[in-house]
Amino acid sequence: MARILVVDDSTTMRQMVSFTLVDAGHDVVEAEDGAKALNTARGKKFDLVITDVNMPGMNGIDLVKCLRDLPEFKFTPILVLTTESAQDVKSRGRDAGATGWIVKPFSPDVLLATLKKVLD
């Protein structure tokens, strides 16, 4: 069982991700934008972070950069779950330090398989 931080401004999407992860036995903490996620993440230990890109306040790519600056998240896997599939946006995410990129809508099986691959 992993402790996972899910960041998305859409309540529906957060619920879908949480439903899938909790059903698979993981412990999920939710945040609705980058700034709140950063506040939640400070000083705490998470095994994985899943974040959206387009969010009010701090977007997902900035959040990845800020998390990578924190020593406790230097090697933590960070997955980006977004509708964006353009290569330049992916490149910005990879340069920011994202571990993987999943394009919405996600299939629960695909999400869990990706989680397993990343956590292993």
Work out whether 103 is an interface residue with other proteins (CB under 8 A): yes
Q: Alpha helix locations (H) across the chain?
A: 11-23, 34-41, 60-69, 87-96, 108-119
Work out whether 101 is an interface residue with other proteins (CB under 8 A): yes
Which residue in the set 4, 48, 55, 64 belongs to the binding site for other proteins (CB under 8 A)?
A: 55
In whole angstroms, give the CA distance from residue 114 to residue 117. 5
Assess contact for 18 and 28: CB atoms under 8 A.
yes
Work out whether 39 is an interface residue with other proteins (CB under 8 A): no
Query: In the complex, what is the shortest distance from the CB of residue 39 to other proteins, in angstroms, rounded to a whole number?
Result: 18
Which residue in the set 18, 20, 51, 76 belongs to the binding site for other proteins (CB under 8 A)?
A: 20
Instruction: Please list the residues that pair with 27 across neighbouring strands.
Output: 3
Of 24-32, 38-46, 66-74, 79-87, the window that binds other proteins (rule: CB under 8 A) is 79-87
